[in-house]
Structure 1
């Protein structure tokens, strides 16, 4: 019961503070977030992180499939192969940009 009351009080407090900030502040935050997302340095960092993640996932898949052999489901193996082809190194993505 104590947690429910704390949750309701927190919810009410958040609502009151949020409504006091108003629509203008919301629009300012939205504009700032959009500008940040469109920043070339942020986009390159996000793409580099995504590429690193895909490479790590591919290596992990290869290591696991070596250990378990044919126990890897065919659907999973096909999906990983498809991702490797789609996100191959250095090619342009579907937006016509590259990470160079």
Structure 2
């Protein structure tokens, strides 16, 4: 199934880039593709895929960190406490304007 989808996608991309129908046909294809992409079923599927990938990615990252710590024998680093805000520094005095500078004699 995936192979057929990739083949059809390849044909569509090849047609778009290889067509001699001109800009008008390209705009029609672009508009149709955008309408399909923005359709509710497609966007629902995209959201489902993003959620699934996000969950799997978090689990994989956690597992990878655990393996690294087991191999290296290091304990996981604890989160550093929040830093205190730095003391405010007084602003530098404003540069003198031409009118405020002493006149050269």
TM-score (ref. length: structure 1): 0.50
More helix by share: 1
Higher relative contact order (CA 8 A, sep 6+): 1
**Bigger Cα Rg:** 2
